[in-house]
Amino acid sequence: MPVRPGTETAWLRFLRAHAALTRELSSRLEAVHELTLSDFDVLIQLYYAEGRRMRRIDLARSVLLTASGITRLLDGLESCGLVAKERCASDARVTYAVLTKAGVKKCEEARESHNADIEELFGSRFAPEEREQLAELLGRLPLSHTAEACSA
Amino acid sequence: MPVRPGTETAWLRFLRAHAALTRELSSRLEAVHELTLSDFDVLIQLYYAEGRRMRRIDLARSVLLTASGITRLLDGLESCGLVAKERCASDARVTYAVLTKAGVKKCEEARESHNADIEELFGSRFAPEEREQLAELLGRLPLSHTAEACSA
DNA sequence: GAGCTATACTTGATTACGCAAGCAATCATA
DNA sequence: TATGATTGCTTGCGTAATCAAGTATAGCTC
């Protein structure tokens, strides 16, 4: 079954754009705030969550990391004091990740510059209706079956 | 400077879609052909290149890896016999990576199933004109300044 | 030529992830 | 209520990528 014309081009551009954008965004974020893109992604998910807290497993799913990936990523954020662990009263298996005061502050600071970077490198390339269409098209792509949340 | 509405959504979907798609494609490619996505990417670049050969540095740039990344990736492909080194007559600094006979075969086999996977998970989500528009939109995004080629 | 600087490539150390395996708590069923 | 299956989380290990540093060649300028 041959690929329909255009698919290969679109896919390659998708791959390359991702590599280039994440490299640049990551390096800026790292330089200014000492956060990786994944760190920031996790912080933002927590920031928008009810009570700024989430079960670690849900956090993992929402950013498309594995359980072990989240453990290690949060290790880092915890030792920086940006995130804290909290036990769940009703189920001793689960642990919550909670944004600390410092975490909220860091998140707000980083968000400002990071969003400006995203706007510069990504958003500004498109007219408003193009951006919406792009979001719509990308929204049709399959997420991992383990993922659900894609709030923004 | 606040992000214009839609940018954040589009960007997050872009990130998530990439994570989910590459994970799935990579695992299929690995299972059937014992190749990573990067391996395949490199093989395809060579496959389409003049004489099925490229300077290692150009190869690196075209797939958005660093020079050291390419060295190690090609190490693997060389020890599998899919790619060979070739010296450059006119410049002793450069080495070519050449697809071997086995490499060509492998590439053609892998391409078949991989393209079907891409079509299933990516291309088939869009109507022909949507695919073109998606490619066009993605094509506006900045590539790394070290990249040039984006043939397909 | 002699000496700079830039380019192509490799290597060692580090990092960020995934997978597989394990533990502990919970749930479900008999 | 005992037992087996599932779920949340962590840990050990392997891999793929990065950066920094080192080697060798090329080319430029005096």
Q: What is the pLDDT of residues B64-114, one digit of tens each?
A: 999 999 999 999 999 999 999 999 999 999 999 999 999 999 999 999 999
Can you give the distance from the CA of residue B68 to the C1' of nucleotide C4 in angstroms? 25
Q: What is the pLDDT of residues B108-139, one digit of tens each?
A: 999 999 999 999 999 999 999 999 999 999 99
Sign of the C-alpha dihedral computed for residues A125, B17, B43 and B146 taken in this order: positive
- Rounded to whole angstroms, how far apart are CA atoms A123 and A125? 5
Give this prediction's pTM: 0.87
What local confidence, expressed as pLDDT, does residue B144 receive?
Answer: 62
| Contact status of B149 with chain A (Cβ, < 8 Å) | no
Residues 34-93 of B with CB under 7 A from strand C: 55-57, 67-68, 70-72, 74, 85, 91, 93
A43: left (phi over 0), alpha (psi -120 to 50) or beta: alpha
What local confidence, expressed as pLDDT, does residue A3 receive?
Answer: 52
Q: What is the mean pLDDT of residues A69-94?
A: 95
What local confidence, expressed as pLDDT, does residue A15 receive?
Answer: 93
Q: What is the pLDDT of residues B27-69, one digit of tens each?
A: 999 999 999 999 999 999 999 999 999 999 999 999 999 999 9
- Rounded to whole angstroms, how far apart are CA atoms A33 and B5? 24
Q: What is the mean pLDDT of residues B14-33?
A: 93
